[in-house]
Structure 1
């Protein structure tokens, strides 16, 4: 009957169907991820895959020549770009631009502001990468932290799209109660964006680290030990972005009692975090290129 409220089980089934109908990652991106996950992969192996896709070739060249890397000379060779960026960075570029191209459009946002959402996401990505640097994580691995931060809130996009009115109510509830958005999502929908994020990761067959990141970025202690550092760093960067209102993904009242706990888990002091404020603002500007590249390809 029209007007009869949906049960939580019906909402969960609807979001599953919505995510199942989402486009799969392109054949090229899937192949890039597969090739990059081989221990013996070389820049030439990756070049052979990307060279067959003019769009991805253009994206790689645009990124290497952007302010994000600030190189003194223009790079026009795909092979040289792959060598200079590194296999890991090219893999992350392919993945992030494919995801943003699929889910980053204006029509994906009904209850959340698209611009505020992506500003928040860029802040979390940039800060997570900066914190990885403070932790002396090797440079080639730091891009993993950026992409994890950039994509951490993907689960909110199908929720705000499928259940626009209920999601508005969840946003209002978290504001009135001055409580966390995941709790309000649970009350209004029966599940939170972490559940939806895991469904997206399963659909796209993302790595275990990204799958757990999408599911557990509000509770890193539930992640497997191998992925806990990555997820704790992103959780800390997320708390920072929310506390300082850098963009907004709707969670305006994060649990501040968790910040000290996250700092302890990550092994940093509040001063380490706050000292990065100016750097983060500059890096967010540079990282806008990821959104621009994705929108041009969409």
Structure 2
């Protein structure tokens, strides 16, 4: 298991920040899941009470990512086909965007949440493609990994320039750069949000070190290493540094790619196939190559 997080470091990182509590809808849904035999109708009824949330659920479920063979017209249908746990996970990711940080229209906030959605979906599709039984957890990591960014930006409007500088600087840990300038890091805040919102211990561990990768690679379980590797592969394939850091440099991939590929049992040439599969699922990426007609 990855090394425990220093509580003193957490207290320092949280100074001035308030971790948003788990929304009532999630508490009610989790209570139903915790019964051991969740009632699909009860879960779908809870979700359907919020028209906006249920609309988002149907939009995502009917997207190419889920590759369903027929149109889903109700939340109850979605629960029956995908399972209650996966639908609750999807609702959690939707609620995250509207409960963390400042929800006012803003290009940087939009970039954070749009890339989080793309990362979550890419992580899930990569797991499907590689036949890894960690797709649900990988999706959650993709969705939550940058939640701390939204929290920091709500307090520090100069944050985009700080994160851009960190992405463009070789031999610097992005979390360390944030701590140096702001006294906190988005990986620690993302960890605290995920823990507060009831994500699994393994997922929270990976979030706590998703830019301090060597901590996971050195002391984490194979499960944690696998989850982190899927996230880092997705970030590389989607060129996340170009979206959030305004650079095509990818120093984390340069530093950790050998370990990532080894853990996932991949060779570099396999990335073309993964890119093509992501493209077929509606996820554009740098490894998809247009084929001549």
Which structure has the highest helix share of the two?
1
* Residue ranges of structure 1 left out of the alignment (5+ in a row): 1-8, 287-298
The structure whose RCO (Cα within 8 Å, separation 6+) is larger is 1
Quote the Cα distance in structure 1 between the aligned partners of 2:246 and 2:68. 36
Q: Give how far 1:215 is off.
A: 0.9
2:155 to 145, 162, 169: 162
Quote the Cα distance in structure 2 between the aligned partners of 1:44 and 1:177. 52
Are the counterparts in 2 of residues 123 and 280 from structure 1 also a CA contact under 8 Å?
Answer: no
1:262 to 260, 263, 267: 260
* Residue ranges of structure 2 left out of the alignment (5+ in a row): 1-7, 285-293
Are the counterparts in 1 of residues 112 and 150 from structure 2 also a CA contact under 8 Å?
Answer: no
Quote the Cα distance in structure 1 between the aligned partners of 2:59 and 2:166. 42
Q: Give how far 1:259 is off.
A: 0.7
Quote the Cα distance in structure 1 between the aligned partners of 2:68 and 2:167. 44
Partner of residue 95, structure 1: 92
Partner of residue 150, structure 1: 143
Partner of residue 130, structure 1: 125
Q: Give how far 1:119 is off.
A: 4.3
Per-residue CA deviation, residues 8-60 of structure 1 (Å, 9 max, x unaligned), is: x999658444224x3x2321222213323454324245235435544444443
State the TM-score, normalized to the length of structure 2: 0.74
Per-residue CA deviation, residues 56-113 of structure 1 (Å, 9 max, x unaligned), is: 444434444445446565443443221112223201111000001223765486xx72
Q: Give how far 1:263 is off.
A: 1.2
Matches within 5 A, 1:108-127: 113-127=108-122
- Structure 1 residues 132, 61: CA separation in 2 closer, same or farther (over 3 Å shift)? closer
**Is structure 2 residue 181 aligned with structure 1 residue 188?**
yes
2:243 to 240, 244, 247: 247
Matches within 5 A, 1:19-98: 19-20=18-19, 22=20, 24-69=21-66, 71=68, 73-98=70-95
1:199 to 174, 192, 202: 192
Per-residue CA deviation, residues 111-166 of structure 1 (Å, 9 max, x unaligned), is: x723443443344323322321233135xx52432232132121222223323336
- Structure 1 residues 277, 10: CA separation in 2 closer, same or farther (over 3 Å shift)? closer
Quote the Cα distance in structure 2 between the aligned partners of 1:131 and 1:74. 23
Are the counterparts in 2 of residues 155 and 195 from structure 1 also a CA contact under 8 Å?
Answer: yes
Q: What CA RMSD, in Å, does the superposition of the two structures yield over aligned residues? A: 3.6
Quote the Cα distance in structure 2 between the aligned partners of 1:174 and 1:60. 33
State the TM-score, normalized to the length of structure 1: 0.73
